[in-house]
Amino acid sequence: MKLTEKEKCLLGQLYDANYDAELIAERTKCKDLCFRYNQLLPSRIEERKQLLRELLGKTGKDFLIEQPFYCDYGYNINLGENFYSNVNCVILDGAPVTFGDNVFIAPNCGFYTAGHPLDVQQRNQGLEYAKPIHVGNNVWIGAHVSVLPGVTIGDNCVIGAGSVVTKDIPANSLAVGNPCRVIRSI
């Protein structure tokens, strides 16, 4: 039996993200919801939360994502309790993106599950892959951090501003840089 492009994506295989009608329709629906969310008055907290509950896969009771916020599908994003993201958060959630409890994200951060083949013919066909991202509990992510496909950030970590997280960061670490490296335990 032939796999759908969405099934290939969920299995971590190369899949057609650019030309598959099902995935395009899901992203369009998500972008419409993000647009609506980003147009709401900031003071309409409960309405904002309700729209995010419709958009995201799972939320805790207490969470806040400042506007603007952008994602690809929404349903692959899971938030723990006491989640906060400042402005300009981008989550490309072709694969699951999971945040634990007490996660604080500074402005202009991106979480990117999507990657593209090095082979130019595959890339020009619109093929890509997606690998999950997991952020543990009690994590603070500084401004302008990029988290790349397949990364796990352990519990109680601090990721310094401007970091590009290309590999897993163990629990209880202070990590900074491009590429992001552990500089000490905390």
Report pTM: 0.95
CATH 2.160.10.10 correct for 5-185: yes
Closest-CA residue to 70 (of 35, 44, 112): 35
DSSP state of 73: -
Residues found in the chain: 186
Helix, strand or coil, per DSSP, at residue 108 = coil
- From first to last of its 186 residues, the chain has per-residue pLDDT tens of 899 999 999 899 999 988 899 999 999 999 999 999 999 999 999 999 999 999 999 999 999 999 999 999 999 999 999 999 999 999 999 999 999 999 999 999 999 999 999 999 998 988 999 999 999 999 999 999 999 999 999 999 999 999 999 999 999 999 999 999 999 999
Cis, bond preceding 107 (omega within 30 deg of 0): no
| 116 flagged as catalytic | yes
Question: Catalytic: which of 116, 124, 179, 186?
Answer: 116
